[in-house]
Amino acid sequence: MVGFYWSDDSVTWNNVPTEYQVFARQPRGFDIRPDALAATADLIAANAAEPFAHELIREAGHLASNAPRSALLIAFSALETGLKAHVAYLLKGSETLLAKLPSPPVQTLLGEVIPELHSKAGIKTEHLPLAEPARKYLTKWVTQRNQVAHGVKQTVDGEDLRELIRFVSDILYILDACRGQEWALAHLRSAHFAA
């Protein structure tokens, strides 16, 4: 039998793992078009900070391979945080109320509440309410999130989870675009939104 072994004491020998998974993501280059540079300058001049929901979804992406259940829960926290922040943007002065109340289901926010608020504010987007396939996809993941959160489901498929993280990230970018950050639409990567 041939194998690879390692030891830290030359007495006890252990098998070297034979299966490895490596995930790589090609980062986007810098957009140096004049309009992109102007948008960046505007964000800097406004002393804008990265929205917390974007930080959370990035953390979920980092955890997806090694702690997929945690990544799933954080991905939904990112989505809920982003949706509440968007509602607060649309309903000035509602921050305290939104901070103290539990979130309505994300499907309700994306399918009813936010589209109605957009309509009243004159905001148009082709992405909300979610198209039927995207709505079903989200509902499937809400069920999985609930099962993980309540200990019913013990495993989460990593590759499927990475697509969910892209999906949530895309929703956050769509909400950014609805707030006037048109550049955000260039970052859509999910199969549900990317062209």
pLDDT digits (tens, 9 = 90+) for 153-174: 999 988 899 999 999 999 999 9
Structure tokens at 169: 């990230």
CB 79 within 8 A of CB 93: no
Coil, helix or strand for 33?
Answer: coil
pTM assigned to the model: 0.82
The DSSP secondary structure of 127-181, one letter per residue, reads SSSPPHHHHHHHHHHHHHHHHHHTTS-----HHHHHHHHHHHHHHHHHHHHHTT-
The whole-number average pLDDT for the span 131-135 is: 95
Classify residue 192 by its DSSP letter.
T
CB 114 within 8 A of CB 87: yes
Q: pLDDT averaged over the chain?
A: 90
pLDDT digits (tens, 9 = 90+) for 30-77: 778 898 888 889 888 989 888 999 999 999 999 999 999 999 999 999
Residue 125: burial class (beta carbons within 10 Å; 0-12, 13-18, 19+)? middle
Find which of 9-13, 33-37, 129-133 is predicted with most confidence, using mean pLDDT: 129-133
Tell me what pLDDT residue 149 has.
96
Look at domain 43-187 and name its CATH class.
mainly alpha
CB 52 within 8 A of CB 81: yes
Cα separation, 19 vs 42, in Å, equals: 47
